[in-house]
Structure 1
Amino acid sequence: MTSRSADAPGTGSAGTGNGPAVSRREFDALFDAVRTWGRWTPADRGAWNRVTADHVRRATAAVRSGVVVPLALPWNTRPGPDNRRAALHHMTDLGDVESPEPSTYKDFIGADYHGKGVTHLDALCHIAYRGRLYDGRPAGDVVGAAGARFGAVSALGPLVTRGVLLDLPAVLGIRWLEPGRAVHAADVTAAERALGVTVGEGDAVLLRSGHVRRRAELGAWDPGTASAGFHVDAVPLLAGRGVALLGGDGDSDVRPSPVEGVHSPVHALAVAAMGVPLLDNLDLEALSAAAAEAGRYEFLLVVAPLKVPGGTGSPVNPVAVL
């Protein structure tokens, strides 16, 4: 694998900005070009309909070492610039009942998980663009106080497929991509060549920017205003390959957004146009090390969201098996 050294810790590659800028008119044309509305039944599984039993069998058969790598961040109860709605955890039973035996110890957890502090899956009812969810469903008619009647996380079920790690810092020979660095289509194809892997139909594509390592070494920042991630010009490539799931150690979007008036354009394109669920806030550091040691950047990926009727997503602990 070819690489090059950074001049300083955390230095990104040449062309570290979030551009080029994309007008709203250009973005709307792109949205219409990649959308897959009306393609699948059931529609609320979206691109996950691509993953057949044959896809699962092939992904399972590709397991070699049996090394299992969890991909979730620790449950974070400490408020910070990247955890403004901190998760909750407190004890509800400390075993202080004298009889009968045995004593029990219980706790409570809770999270407003659609943020930057909890590893989670975005369901298809989570994102609307121009007032419509995936498949053209009017968001106001479908999502209410009781949850969603279309595209809920409970419609997805367990997600099992071939995962592909696009480890950009490993390809570039740097420690991480700086916040605000866009990953373009050319970066994706260059990573495929360097890592010896090709994204295919039904795959889950995980983008490592080195976010978790940067946070550990330099401290937390607000990734809602500055984060490495995909530029919208990478989306047609991913759409053409037929990906079924997209995720990263950020939330897939580069920020600041290159699209005027759209804060999370990759979210809009993936979820609302293509029907591709998203995995946000992964910890890909251990997977990066395991993939480098094994010399292979494909693996079996298993994601089991909570079965929440009407839910817009779920906290998850995805697992990669090499």
Structure 2
Amino acid sequence: MGPNPVDDPGPGPAGTGDRTAVSRREFDALFEAVRTWGRWAPADRGAWNRVTAEHVRRATAAVRSGKVVPLALPWNTVPGPDNPRPALHHMTDLGDVESPEPSTHKDFLAADYHGKAVTHLDALCHVAYRGRLYDGRAAEDVVGAAGARFGAVSALGPLVTRGVLLDLPAVLGVRWLEPGRAVHAKDVAAAEDALGVRIGEGDAVLLRSGHGRRRGDLGAWDSAAASAGFHVDAVPLLAERGIALLGGDGDSDVRPSPVDGVHSPVHALAVAAMGVPLLDNLDLEALSAATAEAGRYEFLLVVAPLNVPGGTGSPVNPVAVL
């Protein structure tokens, strides 16, 4: 049984929402309020240190049907307004007969994956604010041409924890949130109530805005300029709950940004202040249908990034297990 829709607090027919402006001074105060520098060792695992073996055990014990839902977008090699640097895929061997048999077929993959078209994980070395990475490390001291010596994706390893889906279109009774619709702390609380789930310590929180459904129906747009996502006022609630991972079918940030001079303020708060890795560009449409059918919005989440020493992140194919 699905959620009971609640009134969309945003104005406009499709809920364009309120991106209440935040000054740079207010943002800097918020950054200080949620930052967790010096809290954990090893520091370059950041908030992922919250996820213990007991967290994983509880997450696996929550599996009931065994239904597996992949969460990655298809590898996107087609240029578009949301894909200015398309991923590459070409064949390097078309089955030429070798001696001895068998013949083989081989292909090549490459991507400038930090963008809007490839499902990927952001490591802690990916985002700096005022020149500082998570834990106060100076970005210029630890990130260079050979990669990062702190906060690399190789420090994270496979990520396994309880996932929580905040399915805002299902809660609001709309097909999608319009680009620019901000998700505030009050929206997160209302979604928890409507979906019958509560965010807890060590959780991965995934925000569905309906981005994929809108793109499928209306076509691609420049989502770097306009997208639904979290307003910065939702971050203290997520910090208070002790989340370990944040993601969505966009990149978590509402755009245009509500903070003057900060294009991706949720990135800055989550990664650089809180040490929370991000999952960007998920496909959450099948998960939305599966959670609605199951009548529950929690699941086991498994994310296995590539082991890239010094890497700022990795393309991933996360899976949810219900």
TM-score (norm 1): 0.97
Q: CA deviation at 1:96?
A: 1.3
Specify the alignment match of 2:252 in structure 1. 252
Distance in structure 1 (CA, Å) of the matches to 2:73 and 2:199 = 25
Specify which of 2, 5, 8 is matched with residue 3 of structure 1: 5
Specify the alignment match of 2:119 in structure 1. 119
SS in 2 for 1:25: helix
Specify the alignment match of 2:277 in structure 1. 277
Q: CA deviation at 1:99?
A: 2.9
Distance in structure 2 (CA, Å) of the matches to 1:172 and 1:302 = 28
Distance in structure 2 (CA, Å) of the matches to 1:220 and 1:182 = 20
> One-letter code of the match for 1:158?
P
Q: CA deviation at 1:4?
A: 5.7
Specify the alignment match of 1:12 in structure 2. 14
Specify the alignment match of 1:76 in structure 2. 76
Distance in structure 1 (CA, Å) of the matches to 2:60 and 2:85 = 37
Output one character per residue of 1:90-145: Cα deviation in whole Å (capped at 9) or x when no partner. Answer: 00000112532101000000000000010000000000001000000000001000
Aligned 1:100-249 pairs, distance under 5 A? 100-249=100-249
Distance in structure 2 (CA, Å) of the matches to 1:283 and 1:258 = 25
Output one character per residue of 1:193-218: Cα deviation in whole Å (capped at 9) or x when no partner. Answer: 00000000000000000000000000
Distance in structure 1 (CA, Å) of the matches to 2:82 and 2:7 = 29
Aligned length: 317
Output one character per residue of 1:233-280: Cα deviation in whole Å (capped at 9) or x when no partner. Answer: 000000000000000000000000000000000000000000000000
Whether the 8 Å contact between 1:11 and 1:178 is mirrored in structure 2 is no
> One-letter code of the match for 2:260?
E
Q: CA deviation at 1:321?
A: 0.1
Distance in structure 2 (CA, Å) of the matches to 1:318 and 1:17 = 29
Sort the Cα spacing of 1:40 and 1:297 in 2 relative to 1 into closer, same or farther, 3 A: same
Specify the alignment match of 1:49 in structure 2. 49
Distance in structure 2 (CA, Å) of the matches to 1:289 and 1:153 = 31
SS in 2 for 1:46: helix
Whether the 8 Å contact between 2:235 and 2:269 is mirrored in structure 1 is yes
SS in 1 for 2:47: helix
Whether the 8 Å contact between 2:19 and 2:180 is mirrored in structure 1 is no
Distance in structure 1 (CA, Å) of the matches to 2:290 and 2:48 = 27
Whether the 8 Å contact between 2:134 and 2:272 is mirrored in structure 1 is yes
Distance in structure 2 (CA, Å) of the matches to 1:224 and 1:183 = 17
Distance in structure 2 (CA, Å) of the matches to 1:5 and 1:231 = 18
Distance in structure 1 (CA, Å) of the matches to 2:208 and 2:106 = 36
Q: CA deviation at 1:89?
A: 0.1
> One-letter code of the match for 2:306?
L
Distance in structure 2 (CA, Å) of the matches to 1:12 and 1:59 = 35
Distance in structure 2 (CA, Å) of the matches to 1:18 and 1:39 = 34
Distance in structure 1 (CA, Å) of the matches to 2:67 and 2:160 = 16
Q: CA deviation at 1:5?
A: 8.8
RMSD: 1.2
Unaligned residue ranges in structure 1 (runs of 5+): none
Sort the Cα spacing of 1:318 and 1:239 in 2 relative to 1 into closer, same or farther, 3 A: same
Q: CA deviation at 1:12?
A: 2.6
- Greater Cα offset, 95-104 or 135-144: 95-104
Distance in structure 1 (CA, Å) of the matches to 2:54 and 2:61 = 10
Q: CA deviation at 1:17?
A: 3.4
TM-score (norm 2): 0.97
SS in 2 for 1:162: strand
Specify the alignment match of 2:67 in structure 1. 67
Distance in structure 1 (CA, Å) of the matches to 2:18 and 2:108 = 40
Specify the alignment match of 2:92 in structure 1. 92
1:287 and 2:292 correspond:
no
Distance in structure 2 (CA, Å) of the matches to 1:17 and 1:131 = 32
Whether the 8 Å contact between 1:300 and 1:320 is mirrored in structure 2 is yes
Whether the 8 Å contact between 2:6 and 2:194 is mirrored in structure 1 is no
Whether the 8 Å contact between 1:24 and 1:261 is mirrored in structure 2 is yes
Distance in structure 2 (CA, Å) of the matches to 1:314 and 1:211 = 21
Whether the 8 Å contact between 2:117 and 2:281 is mirrored in structure 1 is yes
